[in-house]
Amino acid sequence: MTLLDRVPSEAQLRRTAYRRRQTVYSVLVAACSTAALGTLLVIAVTGAPGWDRVRRAFLDPAIARDALPTVLSGLWLNVRLLVCCAFGALLLGLVIAVLRTLRGPVFFPVRALAAGYTYTFRGLPLIIVLYLLTLGVPGLRLQGMPPVLVLGGIALVLTYGGYLAEVFRAGIESVHHSQLAAARSLGLTHRQTMRHVVLPQAVRRVAPPLLNDVVALQKDVGLVSLAGPIDAVRAAQIATAQTFNYTPYIVAGVLFVLLAIPLIAVTDWVTLRAARRQSGG
């Protein structure tokens, strides 16, 4: 007898019917409660005494249309800076984390330097690093000084590299020591063990927090505008100053959220794929 011609028992049929009824019931309850909460929120916001004023100041469609091109061109700067800084910070973080795992007296200065770096740049406010690099460094009047935008990017890489290094380090330490023993027992050197056994597992495990930091970086790249370059938020600020209307900020905010969605989706996809490949065969 194959699985297909098996007739479910009376008890199983009753259970299936009951579960189906329960599912329909839960969906109905969820729909009703969502609708009720939504209605309440809309009434509370639009019914507020100042709603008309706020709507004119923050949600003016005409102003949004006018501001969109300049905010978008500012956002393009954010995107480019984000891509460069994210790669730079990930690379720097990984290198620092690996340097901190080195053993042996020869590497003491390297370890100390790496540890000192993470302590310093995780403690130092980003704005101060930005000012030091974009205002202080050009003040040295050295030959071949890179433009302010690059210096601002370096400040971002230095600050986020510190955070990412700690995330990488947590990942490296989360790999069980029995994996190290297995790798070393096969004759792999420390470097080969890191490269082929520890880091692949560590990076996969911390991919979600790493990308979380990249999403945070996406918002902070805008701070380079403090040194001059015009990013999306700065463009919105200029537009707001011209119209005395805050709608451009809302435009920029919406664009930032839209930019983050694919990044977050990629994070989820990467995590899911790694999990499925390891357990799904």
Partner 1 sequence: MALLRCRGLRKEFGGHTVLDQLDLTVTEHQVVAVIGASGSGKSTLLRCVNLLEELDDGTIELDGEDISDPRVDPDQVRRRIGMVFQAYNLFPHLSVLDNITLAPRRVHRRGRAEAEAQARELLDRVGLGAKADAYPDRLSGGQQQRVAIVRALANSPRLMLLDEITSALDPELVGEVLSMVRDLKADGMTMVLATHEMGFAREVADEVCFLDAGRVVESGPPEQVLGEPTQPRTRQFLRRIIEAGRL
Say how many Å lie between the first and final Cα of the chain, rounded.
30
Number of residues that bind partner 1 (CB under 8 A): 23
Query: Site map for partner 1, 188-207, x if CB under 8 A?
Result: xx--x---xx--xx--x---
- Rounded to an integer, what distance in angstroms lies between the CA atom of residue 151 and that of residue 146? 7
Q: Which member of 185, 244, 261, 262 binds partner 1 (CB under 8 A)?
A: 185
Give the span between the Cα atoms of 278 and 248, in whole angstroms. 46
DSSP string across 134-146: IIITGGG--TTPP
Are the C-beta atoms of residues 97 and 169 closer than 8 Å to each other? yes
Q: What token pair was written down for 214?
A: 């990249």
Q: Is 143 in the site for partner 1 (CB under 8 A)?
A: no
Contact between 279 and partner 1 by CB under 8 A: the answer reads yes
Taking the least distance from each CB to partner 1, the nearer of 113 and 182 is: 182
- Binding to partner 1 by residue 9, rule CB under 8 A? no
Regarding 262 and contact with partner 1 (CB under 8 A), the answer is no
Interface with partner 1 (CB under 8 A), residue from 130, 151, 183, 207: 183
For every residue of 160-185, DSSP letters joined together read HHHHHHHHHHHHHHHS-HHHHHHHHH
Binding site for partner 1 (CB under 8 A): 178-179, 181-189, 192, 196-197, 200-201, 204, 274, 277-281
